[in-house]
Amino acid sequence: MLSNIKINEQIRDITSEQLVDKELTRLFPRRVIKRILLVVPPDVDVSIFNYTTAKRGRCWNYPPYGLGIIATHLRDEGLSVKITNLNNEILKECSFSNSESDFNFDDVWKTKLSEEITDFQPDIVGISCMFTQTHSSAVNVCNEIRRLNPVLPIAIGGVHITNCFVEDKMSDILLKDFKKADIFFLYEAELAFKQFIKMVNRVASLNKLYQVFFNSSSDRLYFPEKKIPTEDELNIIPAHDLMTPTELMNYGVIGSFFCMKEKGTKITTILSNRGCRGQCTYCSVRNFNGIGVRHRSVESVIEELDMLRNKYDIRHVMWLDDDFLHDHKRTLHLFTEMIKRNLGITWDCTNGVIAASCTDEIIAAAAESGCIGLTIGVESGNSQVLKKIRKPGNINIFIKAAEILKKYEQINTRAFLMIGLPDETYRMIYDTVRLALKMDLDWYNITIFEPLPNTPIFESVLQKDELNPTEFKNIKYNSGSYGKFQEKLNGNQFYSALADPFININLDAVPPKSQLNNIWFYMNYHLNFKRLYKVNNPIKLEQQLKYVQNITDLVAPEDPFPMYFCGYLQKKLRGKIDEQLIKRLEEVLQFSEYWRKRFEFFGLSADKLKSLNFSEELQYRLKPFSIAKNGLNTC
Ligand code: B12
Ligand code: SF4
């Protein structure tokens, strides 16, 4: 199945053992690994990096949790480990720079990498690559290490590396692009990497390698047997001291709910489960983590939270889990323990939880244990689509979950929605709009579908979309700090049409790709911004103001829509609007015909904002799109 790769099936043979021994000695002539340098590449390469966005502090700056876990395992073996986070280095230097001309992206990470290699003198470097979008950046880091030191062995692992490898036809990509790497680790590889090092050091009790593929010999050895951590083996606290947990938020952001906390709050991430019960066709989690969910013990998670609070004064955490609420009993136990400990830590699930787990009992305990933000995975409001993408949940489950969530006003409630799935018609998308209106959550994160490797849907769209399965250099996500949406801030304004995208069309047609941005814009306006008119609860107003303020300050500072609604919420909640905000709005509308036209289309203006008067209660009249004219019901 895997072209170019010789699968070593007879590892127990003497011959195979000799082959492995020869290969390890070739890579490590002294057969000693004492110092391991673990490297986080910049999230993207210079071609995708955006100085202005990074300077604003809008880019993600996550702790390298996976490398932290590997570090703990290796330190337990008496090895010396260092983590260098080149992404943080880029964001830090960008933040300190005076202007774009003072800042040289490639110089920053290359200098740091060179210093680390010179100072630490590692015996091996391990690079992590999680995202497809990081592909080119990780290739550059590999090449640079090889340039700095022609004989230093390079190992690389992570979700993206695994995704490249397992897809038929795509394994070649590792050999083509990552030709300077020597060893590829696949799947969750903390135990596999530890075993590898022990084999190099000749201290392993077993002569076995796991989940590893060698690129450096004429016989490309691949050891497919897996050694994935069991639940007991997950009870390990990552080396937070190597992850600079209190520094990262100074130069970027973590999660989507950080803005609900006071500026300066120390925030980090934590993992409680691995895997997911779902098997959504656009997601690679099942292929990467395997079937089902493995849990860490509640005691181990609490110990980590305790340590984060006491040692680093962490006051908010984002769970990294794919299926955080899996196992009702264990989840309740975890929340009860958190409540008992009174840790003074709030938390959020930026990543999303499965709606069916949002029962009254769980959400009540979640709220009491410090939950301030929860996103549920919905994606579509059309049953046919939900079935096709194998989404766990149905319309009734989503509505029920929303009803429960809304009882806890301290939780900012959101849902993920997706548009542009294969064969999805206008009518199906409109079902999503209707469901969202009915659920009436605080915010909807809407993304345009993009096929990603190692997902069931990827193969099915390959031919149709003329994707090149071995070309990752140009993959750029739709969303996120470097996403395509960010491009509009660089003058590439892509909401072309002013007209309602649902009118005068055949609702049973599949929208062309060129229409998806317009549909996104309409949905975002009607489901998120326009909904703000009806928010009257002061707790909710406060949350929404913080979020919309964050959008206008960090995410989309040149977009007048968040400016307007930020002003609207300020006036409603505080009685007055920040003068700077009005000035910014007036300037954008004065100088940009593009935005002026769109503002007029939605009946908005700076004068309207200034003359807002809340003595009469605002009427909420949500008539999303003119779709009723097409004979469909509005909610
Ligand atoms: C947390 C998370 C996020 C977080 C933060 C991620 C971060 N930087 O830490 C946030 C919310 C930002 C996020 C955002 C997105 N995410 Co995300 N995310 C995850 C998630 C749920 C968990 C990652 C994690 O922390 N795992 C726990 C740690 C312990 O594991 P790990 O880092 O993988 O490390 C282990 C192994 O990989 C390996 N390993 C890793 N490095 C190395 C190095 C060496 C040398 C060795 C030996 C081993 C090794 O060993 C480690 C220990 O087991 C994964 C799903 C998953 N299960 O992986 C999706 C996932 C990575 N995300 C995904 C996606 C699609 C996205 C978004 C595009 C979503 C969106 N539409 O906006 C954005 C894009 C982000 C961007 N860069 O622009 C996809 C990636 C698909 C792809 N091909 O790129 C995943 C796989 C989920 C999915 N739907 O399929 N995400
Ligand atoms: S529920 Fe979320 S994590 Fe689980 S398979 Fe579906 S998309 Fe992936």
Specify the pLDDT at position 468. 62
Distance between CA atoms of residues 352 and 320, nearest Å: 9
Specify the pLDDT at position 452. 86
pLDDT for residue 23 is more than 70: yes
- The DSSP code sequence of 219-278 is S-EEE-------TGGG-----GGGS-TTTGGGTSB-SS-GGGSPTT--EEEE--EEEES-
Instruction: Work out the pLDDT band at 174, boundaries 50, 70, 90.
Output: confident
Q: Which of 70-79, 108-117, 253-262, 624-633 is the least confident region?
A: 624-633
Q: To test the ligand 1 pocket, which listed residue (159, 257, 555) has its Cβ within 8 A of the most ligand atoms?
A: 159
| Ligand 1 atom with the shortest distance to the CA of 160 | 83
Distance between CA atoms of residues 357 and 324, nearest Å: 9
Specify the DSSP class assigned to residue 60.
B
pLDDT for residue 513 is more than 70: yes
Task: Provide the sign of the torsion angle of the four alpha carbons 449, 454, 455, 461, taken in this order.
Answer: positive
Q: Are 341 and 308 in contact (CB under 8 A)?
A: no
| Ligand 1 atom with the shortest distance to the CA of 284 | 90
pLDDT for residue 166 is more than 80: no
pLDDT for residue 497 is more than 60: no
Q: To test the ligand 2 pocket, which listed residue (287, 323, 416, 418) has its Cβ within 8 A of the most ligand atoms?
A: 323
Ligand closest to Cα of 229 equals: 1
Residues with CB under 6 A from ligand 2: 276, 278-280, 283, 285-286, 322-323, 352, 354, 377, 392
Q: How far is the CA of 283 from the centre of ligand 2 (A)?
A: 6
CA 208 from centroid of its chain's CA atoms: 34
| Ligand 2 atom with the shortest distance to the CA of 283 | 8
pLDDT for residue 627 is more than 90: no
Q: How far is the CA of 131 from the centre of ligand 1 (A)?
A: 6
| Ligand 2 atom with the shortest distance to the CA of 282 | 7
CB 145: neighbour CB atoms within 10 A? Answer: 23
Q: Are 565 and 532 in contact (CB under 8 A)?
A: yes
pLDDT for residue 634 is more than 50: no
Specify the pLDDT at position 525. 92
pLDDT for residue 466 is more than 60: no
Q: Quick one: which of 67, 84, 83, 81 has its CA closest to 33?
A: 81
CB 265: neighbour CB atoms within 10 A? Answer: 14
Put simply, whether the predicted model's pTM sits higher than 0.85 gets the answer yes
Specify the pLDDT at position 372. 98
Q: How far is the CA of 530 from the centre of ligand 1 (A)?
A: 33
Specify the pLDDT at position 588. 95
The residue whose CA is least distant from atom 15 of ligand 1 is: 480
Distance between CA atoms of residues 276 and 323, nearest Å: 5
Specify the pLDDT at position 580. 97
Name the token pair of 97.
């720079």
Model confidence over 421-452: pLDDT tens digits? 999 999 999 999 999 999 999 999 999 998 88
Q: Are 296 and 309 in contact (CB under 8 A)?
A: no
The residue whose CA is least distant from atom 4 of ligand 2 is: 278
Amino acid at 538: P
Model confidence over 297-323: pLDDT tens digits? 999 999 999 999 999 999 999 999 999
Q: Hey, what CATH topology would domain 6-223 get?
A: Rossmann fold (3.40.50)
CA distances to 73, 176, 271, 272, 355 from 317, rounded to whole Å, are 23, 39, 10, 12, 21
- Rg over alpha carbons for the chain, rounded to the nearest Å, is 25
Q: How far is the CA of 419 from the centre of ligand 2 (A)?
A: 16
Distance between CA atoms of residues 94 and 98, nearest Å: 8
| Ligand 2 atom with the shortest distance to the CA of 354 | 1
Instruction: Work out the pLDDT band at 16, boundaries 50, 70, 90.
Output: confident
Q: How far is the CA of 135 from the centre of ligand 1 (A)?
A: 13
SS3 of 482, please? Answer: coil
Specify the pLDDT at position 471. 65
Specify the pLDDT at position 326. 97
Specify the pLDDT at position 220. 73
Specify the pLDDT at position 396. 98
Q: How far is the CA of 288 from the centre of ligand 2 (A)?
A: 12
Distance between CA atoms of residues 620 and 443, nearest Å: 17
The residue whose CA is least distant from atom 74 of ligand 1 is: 480
Specify the pLDDT at position 623. 38
Ligand closest to Cα of 278 equals: 2
Q: How far is the CA of 350 from the centre of ligand 1 (A)?
A: 13
Task: Provide the sign of the torsion angle of the four alpha carbons 88, 92, 94, 95, taken in this order.
Answer: positive
Superfamily of domain 254-449+509-533: tm_1862 like domain (3.80.30.20)
Comparing 193 with 480, the larger pLDDT belongs to 193
Residues with CB under 6 A from ligand 1: 43, 60, 62, 65-66, 69-70, 126, 128, 130-133, 155-160, 163, 185, 188-190, 193, 271, 283-285, 288-289, 320, 322, 350-351, 447, 452-453, 477, 479-480
Name the token pair of 580.
């700077």
Q: How far is the CA of 83 from the centre of ligand 1 (A)?
A: 18
To the nearest 10°, the Cα dihedral for 538, 541, 545, 551? 160
Sheet of 183-185: strand order equals: 6-7, 221-223, 212-214, 183-185, 154-157, 124-128, 35-40, 80-85
Specify the DSSP class assigned to residue 575.
S
Angle, helices 360-368 vs 395-405, to 10°: value is 40
The residue whose CA is least distant from atom 30 of ligand 1 is: 66
Q: How far is the CA of 447 from the centre of ligand 1 (A)?
A: 17
- The DSSP code sequence of 83-97 is EEEHHHHHHHHHHH-
Specify the pLDDT at position 11. 42
Instruction: Work out the pLDDT band at 461, boundaries 50, 70, 90.
Output: confident
Specify the pLDDT at position 622. 33
The residue whose CA is least distant from atom 8 of ligand 2 is: 283
Q: Quick one: which of 520, 393, 509 has its CA closest to 444?
A: 520
Q: Quick one: which of 436, 438, 620 has its CA closest to 534?
A: 620
Specify the pLDDT at position 635. 31
The pLDDT mean for the chain works out to 90
Model confidence over 268-281: pLDDT tens digits? 999 999 999 999 99
Model confidence over 538-585: pLDDT tens digits? 999 999 999 999 999 999 999 999 999 999 999 999 999 999 999 999
Do the bridges between strand 212-214 and strand 221-223 make them parallel or antiparallel, or are there none, so unpaired? antiparallel
Ligand closest to Cα of 59 equals: 1
Q: Are 543 and 260 in contact (CB under 8 A)?
A: yes
pLDDT for residue 169 is more than 80: no
Specify the pLDDT at position 618. 46
pLDDT for residue 514 is more than 90: no
Secondary structure of 450-470 in HEC code, one letter for each residue: CCCCCCHHHHHHHHHHCCCCC
The residue whose CA is least distant from atom 48 of ligand 1 is: 157
H helix or E strand, kind and range, residue 349: strand 346-353
Distance between CA atoms of residues 558 and 382, nearest Å: 34
Specify the pLDDT at position 222. 87
Percentages helix, strand, coil for the chain (3-state, rounded to 5) are 45, 15, 40
Specify the pLDDT at position 495. 58
The residue whose CA is least distant from atom 3 of ligand 2 is: 322
Specify the pLDDT at position 234. 98
pLDDT for residue 248 is more than 60: yes
Distance between CA atoms of residues 605 and 600, nearest Å: 7
pLDDT for residue 387 is more than 80: yes
Specify the pLDDT at position 631. 37
Q: How far is the CA of 467 from the centre of ligand 1 (A)?
A: 22
Q: To test the ligand 1 pocket, which listed residue (58, 130, 273) has its Cβ within 8 A of the most ligand atoms?
A: 130
The residue whose CA is least distant from atom 6 of ligand 2 is: 280
Tallying the residues shown for the chain, one arrives at 635
Instruction: Work out the pLDDT band at 13, boundaries 50, 70, 90.
Output: very low
Q: How far is the CA of 299 from the centre of ligand 2 (A)?
A: 26
Instruction: For the chain, give every domain's residue range.
Output: 6-223, 254-449+509-533, 545-616
Instruction: Work out the pLDDT band at 616, boundaries 50, 70, 90.
Output: very low
Distance between CA atoms of residues 149 and 116, nearest Å: 12
Q: Which contacts qualify for 507-511: CB closer than 8 Å, 24 or more apart?
A: 507/425, 507/426, 507/427, 507/430, 507/630, 507/632, 508/425, 508/426, 508/427, 509/425, 509/426, 510/423, 510/424, 510/425, 510/426, 511/420, 511/424, 511/425, 511/426, 511/429
Ligand closest to Cα of 355 equals: 2
Amino acid at 381: G
SS3 of 501, please? Answer: coil
Model confidence over 87-100: pLDDT tens digits? 999 999 999 999 99
- The DSSP code sequence of 152-182 is S-EEEESHHHHHHHHSTTTHHHHHHH-TT--
Specify the pLDDT at position 614. 80
Comparing 40 with 19, the larger pLDDT belongs to 40
